[in-house]
Amino acid sequence: MSFRFPRFRRFALAPPICIIKDGVKQDAALRRELISDEDLRAMLHEHEVEDIAQVRRAWLEPDGQLTVLRRRGARDDGGTGGQPRRGL
């Protein structure tokens, strides 16, 4: 229905939830989504993030994937820099 009726899409699909903002965990959002610190570390590890301070923003997408936007210069190995990476 959301494909055929774009206005319905706004109600049918949940927006992404910001779980990290400027290197700071958003504890209320993490509790609401039942994500433990260990789960968060594992999710960030899949995106090759060792320190939460490297993250400018991280969103939990409605499909369960994590989108990570790194701070500029957070990677020295020629990675995506400030480009978002998706997937789990």
Question: What confidence tens digit (pLDDT) does each residue in 48-59 have?
Answer: 999 999 999 999
Running DSSP on this structure, what letter comes out for residue 15?
P
Model pTM? Answer: 0.69
* Contact between residue 59 and residue 16 where contact means Cβ atoms under 8 Å apart: yes
Residues in the chain where the model's pLDDT stays below 70: 1-3, 8-12, 74-88
pLDDT of 78: 45
Give the β-pairing of 66-70 and 55-60. Answer: antiparallel
**Measured in Å, how far apart are the chain's first and last C-alpha atoms?**
27
